[in-house]
Amino acid sequence: MAAPRENVNLLFKLYCLAVMTLVAATYTIALRYTRTSDKELYFSTTAVCITEVIKLLLSVGILAKETGNLGRFKASLRENVLGSPKELMKLSVPSLVYAVQNNMAFLALSNLDAAVYQVTYQLKIPCTALCTVLMLNRTLSKLQWISVFMLCGGVILVQWKPAQATKVVVEQNPLLGFGAIAVAVLCSGFAGVYFEKVLKSSDTSLWVRNIQMYLSGIVVTLVGVYLSDGAEIKEKGFFFGYTYYVWFVIFLASVGGLYTSIVVKYTDNIMKGFSAAAAIVLSTIASVMLFGLQITPGSKNVLPSCTVL
């Protein structure tokens, strides 16, 4: 049964899209700084885990404000979280799929040239549009399809550079790399549209849905921390390498994640894709000003992805 449509004015939607775009662009630049500075490198897996915890705490706080009093807040948590294991399982699906996507992305990067990876990974844009049609029974006009593929092509042009600029120093398996990136693209499209379907198929509060998803997200990321960096974290500590800039990146990722869920709730995943593309343009401009990135007609540059954790 479809949920009743909530009346949200256009100004609010534009505001959320603008904030999401600015946060994603700022996040990309800040993340690049923390990963390329001469300070001791922090564990990215722990940053992802902490981001999930902060998003959970923020969602709990917003839900408390939304319910209005402590009694209704406790009742909402009891009914929708503690008393709904089925709903928790339902929201664990995107968390698990995103975990698979991240691992496939690492596998693809290990077996493909960086430029090839950036180009082929942009197939997630038309894949998301296709999942929207198949999973939400939504029809896209010819103009919308043209816009989707133009967006995909534009992002490829921004992020592509000649293959000879990247030197391969390890043995790679291109077939495995392309297989991994195909799985990552499918995961990206499916997880985003699945979450949109869950949000829009009932009148359950957005913040309840976020709490359900972030709980499973914390479990998934903790497993990732243990499997990827467990031994080093035992030796150096969970917060090894953390600076004020790292905490700023985590803050941006947390706020960006919340605004992403709002955008998906009140618009759709295709609009989210256009927002991400705009963030790439802003990141390019900022990289030129802050990092001296050279943009020339004969040599294009691969920029870090504008993906909010």
- If pLDDT is split at 50, 70 and 90, which confidence band does 292 have? low
In this prediction, residues 17-37 reach a mean pLDDT of 83
Q: Is residue 301 part of a domain?
A: no
In a domain, residue 304? The reply is no
Whether residue 45 has pLDDT greater than 80: yes
- Please give the pLDDT value at position 308: 45
What pLDDT is attached to residue 248?
95
Q: Which of 280, 271, 306, 26 is nearest to 158 (CA)?
A: 280
Q: Looking at residue 4, what is its pLDDT?
A: 44
pLDDT tens digits, 131-148: 989 898 888 888 878 877
Output the pLDDT for position 139: 85
Of residues 248 and 129, which shows the higher confidence score? Answer: 248
Q: Quick one: pLDDT at residue 287?
A: 65
Non-local (6+) Cβ contacts of 228 within 8 A are 43, 45
For residue 170, what pLDDT is reported? 54
Question: What DSSP character marks residue 237?
Answer: -
Higher pLDDT, 228 or 106: 228
* pLDDT of 243 above 90: yes
| Residue bearing tokens 């050279």 | 294
For range 237-243, the mean pLDDT: 94
Please check whether residue 261 lies inside any domain of the structure: yes
Report the alpha-carbon distance of residue 166 to residue 134 in Å, rounded: 38
Q: Which of 3-7, 85-89, 206-210 has the highest mean pLDDT?
A: 206-210
| Residue 279 confidence class, pLDDT cut points 50, 70, 90 | confident
Residue 306 lies in a domain: no
Tell me what percent of the chain is helix, strand and coil, each rounded to the nearest 5. 75, 0, 25
pTM confidence score: 0.78
Q: Does the pLDDT of residue 27 top 90, yes or no? A: no
Report yes or no on 102 lying in a domain.
Answer: yes
Of 112 and 10, which is predicted with more confidence? 10
Within-domain flag for 307: no
Mean pLDDT of the residues in the chain: 80
pLDDT digits (tens, 9 = 90+) for 161-175: 544 444 444 567 888
Q: How many CB atoms lie within 10 A of CB 270?
A: 21
Q: Is residue 149 very low, low, confident or very high in pLDDT (cuts 50, 70, 90)?
A: confident
Cα 233 from Cα 226, distance rounded (Å): 8
* pLDDT greater at residue 236 or residue 124: 236
| 110-124 pLDDT tens trace | 787 766 666 677 788
How does residue 293 score in pLDDT terms, banded at 50, 70 and 90?
low
pLDDT value of residue 230:
92
* Residue 296 forms part of a structural domain: no
Distances (CA, A) of 109 to 55, 60, 72, 161: 28, 36, 47, 15
In terms of residue numbers, what domain contains 53?
10-288
pLDDT above 70: percentage of residues in the chain: 80
- Over 80: is that where the pLDDT of 199 sits? yes
Confidence category of residue 7, pLDDT binned at 50, 70, 90: low
Tokens of 78: 């009891």
Average pLDDT over residues 296-307: 45
For the chain, what is the domain count?
A: 1
Per-residue confidence (pLDDT) for residue 240, from 0 to 100? 94
**Which carries the bigger pLDDT value, residue 271 or residue 64?**
64
